[in-house]
Amino acid sequence: DARVHLGHKKGCRHRFMEPYIFGCRLDQDIIDLDQTMQHLQLALNFTAHIAYRKGIILFISRKRQFCHLVESTARECGEYAHTRYWQGGLLTNAHIQFGSGVRLPDLIIFLSSLNNVFEPHVAIRDAAKMNIPTVGVVDTNCNPCLITYPIPGNDDSPTAMELYCKLFRMTIIRAKDKRRQSEVFDELR
């Protein structure tokens, strides 16, 4: 129902996304949902571990139609979002731009991994240089190589984006609740 399986036209396909493609119908790539589920479970598990350990999580998306959704998702789970233009070097030169006491995010979640139609988001390269783990929704026209936990799926459909945001929000909130419960339990000992 969420149209997660729909990829781009066959001519837009990135060669590194071929293992995640189930087939092609009417010249449109169909993403293998079995692989999407496996990768999504790994990504959500990793996200939960980061949230449980009080890590800073940054949501990033450059798609204008999903800015409000991404920002509200980050706000609801007590994390951060960046939906505007990303100036290159924000992570690699953070100590110069923000001062010496700044803490970088422990995880970056890319809800769309392209800046525009052709080029990958600049923050993907910055995060790879700084060894910051990344989780990213990668469509059939994206390069999944620099993303630590790629999730093959549609990043253009509003229902798919709502599904991703809902899953990440639920995962982070549950992990934080679990941490609070364990802290209360430890205090009672």
Query: CA 76 to CA 74: how far, in whole Å?
Result: 6
This prediction has a pTM of: 0.91
> What total number of domains does the chain contain?
1
Nearest to 137 by CA among 39, 66, 70, 65: 39
* Sheet of strand 21-25, all strands in order from the earlier edge strand to the far edge: 6-9, 28-31, 21-25
On whether residue 40 sits in a domain, the answer given is yes
Please check whether residue 1 lies inside any domain of the structure: no
pLDDT score recorded for residue 15: 82
Domain membership of residue 54 (yes or no) is yes
Domain containing 58: what range?
A: 6-188
Domain presence at residue 70:
yes
pLDDT digits (tens, 9 = 90+) for 108-149: 999 988 877 678 889 999 999 999 999 999 988 888 899 999
**Can you give the CATH number for the domain in which 118 is found?**
3.40.50.10490
